[in-house]
Amino acid sequence: MLIAQLSDPHIDATRPEKAAAFARAVAHVQALPMRPDAVLITGDCTDHGQADEYDTFAALTAPLDMPVYVIPGNHDDRAAMLARYGHLGTGHLDGFLQYVVDDLPVRVIGLDTLLPGQGAGELDSARLDWLDARLSEQPQRPTLIFMHHPPLLSGLDIMDSIGLRGTQQLCDVVLQHPHVARVVAGHVHMALTAGFGNSTVMTCPGTDTTFQPDLSRPEILIVQYQPPLCLLHAWSEKTGLVSFTRVIDQTPWSVLHDGQGWMG
Ligand SMILES: [Fe+2]
């Protein structure tokens, strides 16, 4: 079984280069030598949550001939996404785009961390109780959780100030369910891996811009273009869940914001 992950396309009607970058990412996934069984897009599908941006996003994902699963990021609009994607999966939590994908060898659970009007994300008790109940249903099956805000600290002040509220409570839930093989997310526009309870959290960089960590200056955020990445989460009885990082294309490196101001 193979699950491809893309993140943070930030479709913006005024910035056609973002749509072009996402189109290249979709074409890359569609042309992979190993055909994915599903594609996860871990939020910030659009930059402003507007209807025309979702129209573009939907048109750009249309070439994918396998199931595509989405959850909202902080730039998205929950109501707009529920209207378009509320049918995805099973076991929905009312009022949120949270659901289970149950027809793959690995059980996949999408979490909705959107906190309207804020960059930070949240998992409140309703969303966490729902997760605990879903995880309790099939304790023998390896399970992958996907969400927008990762439950980790990057060390970069700006990103950590808009991180996930409820990380410790989520960790407490995951610790009760050792079949959580992986937690995957987006939001930080970097490829990060960290321990999380007895599991592992990984982030997929955006198909759009990437943040360059400079931990000697944690107060700044360097924004750049660089070759974008997708993640491939492969599972077999023999290997368990193994995640690969794959370069989408050779977008040249260029700094857009050096931590002091925008270039050019
Ligand atoms: Fe983003």
15 C-alpha vs ligand 1 centroid, how far in Å?
15
133 C-alpha vs ligand 1 centroid, how far in Å?
29
73 C-alpha vs ligand 1 centroid, how far in Å?
7
10-residue mean pLDDT profile of the chain (264 residues): values are: 98 97 98 97 98 98 98 98 98 98 98 97 98 98 98 97 98 98 98 97 96 94 96 98 97 95 90
27 C-alpha vs ligand 1 centroid, how far in Å?
21
| pLDDT attached to residue 232 | 98
| pLDDT attached to residue 100 | 98
47 C-alpha vs ligand 1 centroid, how far in Å?
8
* Domain-located, residue 14: yes
* Domain-located, residue 172: yes
* Domain-located, residue 97: yes
Q: Is there a contact between 78 and 114 (Cβ–Cβ < 8 Å)?
A: yes
| pLDDT attached to residue 264 | 76
* Domain-located, residue 95: yes
* Domain-located, residue 262: no
Which CATH number goes with the domain that contains 219?
Answer: 3.60.21.10
What contacts 138, CB < 8 A, 6 or more positions away?
107, 179
179 C-alpha vs ligand 1 centroid, how far in Å?
28
Q: How far apart are CA 135 and CA 145, in angstroms?
A: 10
| pLDDT attached to residue 228 | 96
146 C-alpha vs ligand 1 centroid, how far in Å?
15
* Domain-located, residue 263: no
Domain count, the chain: 1
**Domain, as residue range, for 14:** 2-257
238 C-alpha vs ligand 1 centroid, how far in Å?
35
* Domain-located, residue 264: no
* Domain-located, residue 243: yes
DSSP states of 228-254: -EEEEEEEETTTEEEEEEEE---PPPE
Determine the 3-state secondary structure of 175 from DSSP: helix
| pLDDT attached to residue 198 | 94
33 C-alpha vs ligand 1 centroid, how far in Å?
28
What contacts 245, CB < 8 A, 6 or more positions away?
191, 229, 230, 231, 232
